[in-house]
Amino acid sequence: MTETTADHQLLDAVLEQVRQAPDGQTEHALLGRLEKAELAPFAGADLGDQMALFRVHFLLFHCLYRLQERLAARGEWLDIHCLSISLRPLSSASTADTGAMAQTDPLRTYYLELANLDAMDAATLEAMLSGFWRRLDGGERHREALDLLGLEEPVDADQVTRRYRQLAQQHHPDKGGDTETLQRLNEARLVLIT
């Protein structure tokens, strides 16, 4: 990718703000620093608008992944995650870092390709966000169901059914249990076997 003077200046400005937090920072904190520094395209964006928020997020991660390449050549590593963006020395023993960059990282590939930003429209963004929240909710419900039944992964349907029957016998209203607990056990079983 050919770097223009404007690109170079933008990357330098983002790097300056990354270096302001030597212990790392969240994406939100870094965006706040960029806003305060009045750095376009981050300053003045209406983050209450989903498309504007996505655009700012995408451009930030595009810059961060480009910086990661640049910094690796200088012996530094940029850890990139929405909850922690931080710099650290790249040790010669740390081949996992550069190996990760050499391998196909789908997120890295996605954010480095500006055509992905250009292709995003409101309907596609809404579908992407809905899918994310469904997967997140499904994962939480799965963990809660395991906890309620006192199980740990990996489990199969037979294990779930056996444990469910034990607890259902124990908590059945006819045996001194309560209806609410039995209903929660029924729901947990369904979450785990469907």
pTM over 0.95: no
Q: How far apart are CA 165 and CA 144, in angstroms?
A: 18
Residue 88 parent element (H or E): strand 86-89
Per-residue pLDDT tens for 155-168? 888 998 999 999 98
Same domain, 70 and 54: yes
105 and 188 housed in the same domain: no
Distance CA 85, CA 14 (A): 12
Task: Clarify whether residues 75 and 143 are in a common domain.
Answer: no
Residue matched to tokens 């655009």: 55
Residues 164, 115, single domain; the answer is: no
Q: Any bridge partners for residue 85, and if so which?
A: 25
Give percent of the chain with pLDDT exceeding 70. Answer: 88
Range of the domain at 132: 126-193
pLDDT tens profile 132-149: 666 666 677 888 888 888
Concatenate the DSSP letters of all residues of 86-105 into one string: EEEE--TT-HHHHHHHHS--
> Which pLDDT does position 93 carry in this prediction?
42
Same domain assignment for residues 50 and 84: yes
Q: Which residue has the tokens 């983050």?
A: 47
Q: pLDDT tens, 29-81?
A: 999 999 999 988 888 888 788 888 899 999 999 999 999 999 999 999 999 98
| DSSP 8-state symbol, 4 | P
Same domain, 35 and 109: yes
The one-letter amino acid at 30 = L
* Residues 24, 85 contacting (CB under 8 angstroms): yes
Picking from 120, 138, 172, the residue at the C-terminal end of a domain is: 120
Residues 100 and 134 grouped into a single domain: no
pLDDT band at 18 (very low <50, low <70, confident <90, very high): very high
Q: Which of 130, 135, 140, 162 is nearest to 149 (CA)?
A: 162
CATH of the domain at 157: 1.10.287.110
| pLDDT score of 75 | 92
Residue 192: pLDDT over 60: yes
Residue 164 and residue 178: Cα distance in Å, rounded?
15
Looking at the fold, whether 177 and 96 belong to one and the same domain comes out as: no
Task: Please report the sign of the dihedral spanned by the C-alpha atoms of residue 25, residue 27, residue 30, residue 32.
Answer: negative
Give the separation between CA 134 and CA 167, rounded to whole angstroms.
28
- The answer on 44 and 100 residing in a single domain is yes
Average confidence score pLDDT of the chain? 84
189 and 112 assigned to the same domain: no
Length of the chain, in residues:
194
Last residue of one domain, picked from the residues 120, 137, 160: 120
Total number of domains in the chain: 2
